[in-house]
Structure 1
């Protein structure tokens, strides 16, 4: 298959790995809201304790700084964007810090954000992306193994909330990458663990991913086919050959999983 070709065929693929955030469901708003709740609480506490002005987390501007990053990277990116002592406060190494000094470590911020995300899943829920569900059902009917992956923790709860638990042979998330920080290295660990659980080598597997670090990690691991999902290109007239811009490591970029052709289905 030529890179960026309009027809993306899954012929010869023994396993399909899909990213939870952005491919299984549009979880971005829930993650953004969880980060906002986390940081607003802490920023308000700091403003009250130090006599400064409370400037809340901005969902449009601040979350853009964090998008596509691992949770530790995301917390640090936001902290670095704020003035004063906030950067030092949030840049303690993951899992380290003086428990008695009143400061927050990245690990504690991350834990709090995860609790708020899971709260939203229980109260608000999330909907499956129908084209992904249809693709997975077709692949499973043809004996292709399937797995859901995420750099974040809580992927199993997300898949369950989306009503897609029955479409996966395995769900592997950030718990398989504990101790790793960058998004790419976390995805590499998650994808390697996924291949081991499925018993299918990356060279026989396809990956359908929505974040650039995940795409790079899958390419580095030698996946047979790495397809990036770029929802923003849907309906805007972007030629398929031009979608690869900015997706280093992708063999193809699609706006919709429905663009993929399963074995035995005409293109």
Structure 2
């Protein structure tokens, strides 16, 4: 009926890039932050932050993990600092907090758009009686769901704040998705994971979830398959056509 195997009773959706177009907003915020940071450096590779950098090091990961992974790829090492570091602090947390300032500014200026095809799929999943959860590395998950008018579909949410509070390992580790399944009261094999990020697809595979749907927003269909997607679609409502 909704393009999922028999025995799947719950759906765990990533947010940015799967349900909403905020993945592009995140990429712009990361670029603004990293380009400004790199302009003042004399160590490591200080060339501009690229879309390839975003996909390889940042997309789908908790904020501090993304900062750490990208800077390490450029040969730059910063102290960790503290979660409440100001956005101008030259620490991992400071750079991450600077990105969040840029992100919220862009959201306030431009708003948040949900993908119409994803809303159609959410509606079909809810009408079919499936449990629905959102698992996102973003600390702004609740705000984005409200702004995009998607909170009405969601029974359980695991976001960047949850990950920090519980001390979970972020994607590509499966811990956040496992927590989402737990909150919906289902076993991993009863849940389908929907992800556009390579790190998120790996998390779904490594968590032994019943089905992993890769959403190709960045022309990386084969990479999504290689990282564990059982099926790759351009839009979620393609699954309805296959039902």
Structure 2-normalised TM-score? 0.80
1:255 aligned onto 2:234: yes
Aligned residue in 2 for 1:9: 4
* Residue-pair matches, total: 234
**Which residue of the other structure, out of 122, 146, 160, is the alignment partner of 1:160?**
146
Q: Is the 8 A contact 2:31 2:49 kept in 1?
A: yes
Per-residue CA shift, 1:83-130, capped at 9, x if unaligned?
A: 7xxx13x3x23639xx8xx96111121122123212222221121111
**What CA distance in whole angstroms lies between the structure 1 residues aligned with 2:149 and 2:187?**
28
**What CA distance in whole angstroms lies between the structure 2 residues aligned with 1:194 and 1:245?**
21
- What is the deviation of 1:245? 6.3
Distance 1:110 1:68, change over 3 A: same
Aligned residue in 1 for 2:82: 95
Q: Which runs of 5+ in 1 are unaligned?
A: 1-6, 235-241
Distance 1:129 1:157, change over 3 A: same
Aligned residue in 1 for 2:59: 68
**What CA distance in whole angstroms lies between the structure 2 residues aligned with 1:192 and 1:81?**
29
Question: What SS does the corresponding residue of 1:108 show, helix, strand or coil?
Answer: helix
Per-residue CA shift, 1:200-243, capped at 9, x if unaligned?
A: 22111111111122112122222111111113559xxxxxxx84
- What is the deviation of 1:180? 5.6
1:125 aligned onto 2:108: no
**What CA distance in whole angstroms lies between the structure 2 residues aligned with 1:19 and 1:214?**
8
Question: What SS does the corresponding residue of 1:206 show, helix, strand or coil?
Answer: strand
**Which residue of the other structure, out of 209, 222, 230, is the alignment partner of 1:223?**
209
Summarize the alignment of residues 222-241 of structure 1 with structure 2, pairs less than 5 Å apart. 222-232=208-218
**What CA distance in whole angstroms lies between the structure 2 residues aligned with 1:60 and 1:195?**
31
Q: Is the 8 A contact 2:156 2:184 kept in 1?
A: yes
- What is the deviation of 1:196? 1.7
- What is the deviation of 1:64? 5.3
Question: What SS does the corresponding residue of 1:183 show, helix, strand or coil?
Answer: coil
Which entry has the higher C-alpha Rg, 1 or 2? 1
Question: What SS does the corresponding residue of 2:13 show, helix, strand or coil?
Answer: strand
**Which residue of the other structure, out of 143, 163, 166, is the alignment partner of 1:177?**
163
1:204 aligned onto 2:199: no
**What CA distance in whole angstroms lies between the structure 2 residues aligned with 1:73 and 1:246?**
23
Structure 1-normalised TM-score? 0.73
Question: What SS does the corresponding residue of 2:139 show, helix, strand or coil?
Answer: coil
Per-residue CA shift, 1:231-261, capped at 9, x if unaligned?
A: 3559xxxxxxx84765322222222211214
- What is the deviation of 1:39? 3.2
**What CA distance in whole angstroms lies between the structure 2 residues aligned with 1:223 and 1:63?**
26
Question: What SS does the corresponding residue of 2:199 show, helix, strand or coil?
Answer: helix
**What CA distance in whole angstroms lies between the structure 2 residues aligned with 1:11 and 1:64?**
32
Question: What SS does the corresponding residue of 1:117 show, helix, strand or coil?
Answer: helix
Distance 1:251 1:64, change over 3 A: closer
- What is the deviation of 1:154? 1.0
Q: Is the 8 A contact 1:72 1:181 kept in 2?
A: no
Backbone CA RMSD of aligned residues: 3.2
**What CA distance in whole angstroms lies between the structure 2 residues aligned with 1:30 and 1:112?**
14
1:79 aligned onto 2:71: yes
- What is the deviation of 1:28? 2.4
